[in-house]
Amino acid sequence: RAKAAGGNRYELADADCDARAIARHSLTNGLPAALENGEFFIEYQPLVRLTDGSVRGAEALVRWLHPVHGVLGPDQFIPLAESTGLIVPLGRWVLEEAARQARAWRSEGKCRAPMRVNVNLSPSQLRYPSLVAETVAVLENAGLPPSALCLEVTENALIGADEEELRPLRQLADMGVDIALDDFGTGYSNLSYLRRLPVSTLKLDRSFTRGMQCSPADPVDVKIVEGIVSLAHTLDLSVTVEGVETGTQAEHLRGLGCDTAQGWYYARPGPPERLCASASADASP
Residues 66-95 that bind ligand C2E (CB under 6 A): 73-75, 78, 91, 94
Q: Is 183 one of the binding residues for Mg ion (CB under 5 A)?
A: yes
If the CB atoms of residues 9 and 127 are measured against ligand C2E, the closer one turns out to be 127
Residues 147-166 that bind Mg ion (CB under 5 A): 152
Q: Is 46 one of the binding residues for ligand C2E (CB under 6 A)?
A: no
The DSSP letter of residue 218 is: P
Q: Is 120 one of the binding residues for ligand C2E (CB under 6 A)?
A: yes
If the CB atoms of residues 10 and 264 are measured against ligand C2E, the closer one turns out to be 264
Q: Is 182 one of the binding residues for Mg ion (CB under 5 A)?
A: yes
**Under DSSP, is residue 160 helix (H, G, I), strand (E, B) or coil?**
coil
Contacts of 275 (CB under 8 A, 6+ apart): 44, 46, 55, 58, 105, 111, 115
Contact 238, 267 (CB under 8 A): no
> Do strands 260-261 and 238-241 pair parallel, antiparallel, or not at all (unpaired)?
parallel
Distance of CA 159 to the CA centre of its chain: 17
Q: How far is the CB of 245 from ligand C2E (least distance, A)?
A: 4
Residues 21-40 that bind ligand C2E (CB under 6 A): none
Closest to 166 (Cα-Cα) out of 209, 131, 191? 131
Q: How far is the CB of 225 from Mg ion (least distance, A)?
A: 15
Element (H, E) at 198: none
Q: What are phi and psi of 63, to 5 degrees?
A: -135, 160
Q: How far is the CB of 60 from ligand C2E (least distance, A)?
A: 6
* Dist CA 261 CA 50 (whole Å): 6
* Dist CA 273 CA 269 (whole Å): 11
Q: How far is the CB of 143 from ligand C2E (least distance, A)?
A: 22
Q: How far is the CB of 120 from Mg ion (least distance, A)?
A: 5
Contact 214, 248 (CB under 8 A): yes
Q: Is 243 one of the binding residues for ligand C2E (CB under 6 A)?
A: yes
If the CB atoms of residues 62 and 228 are measured against ligand C2E, the closer one turns out to be 62
**Where on the phi/psi map is residue 100: left (φ > 0), alpha (ψ -120 to 50), or beta?**
alpha
If the CB atoms of residues 30 and 124 are measured against Mg ion, the closer one turns out to be 124
If the CB atoms of residues 97 and 182 are measured against Mg ion, the closer one turns out to be 182
The piece of 96-104, 122-130, 207-215, 242-250 that touches Mg ion (CB under 5 A) is 242-250
Q: Which residues bind Mg ion (CB under 5 A)?
A: 120, 152, 182-183, 242
Q: Which residues bind ligand C2E (CB under 6 A)?
A: 45, 61-62, 73-75, 78, 91, 94, 120, 122, 152, 182-183, 242-245, 262-264, 269
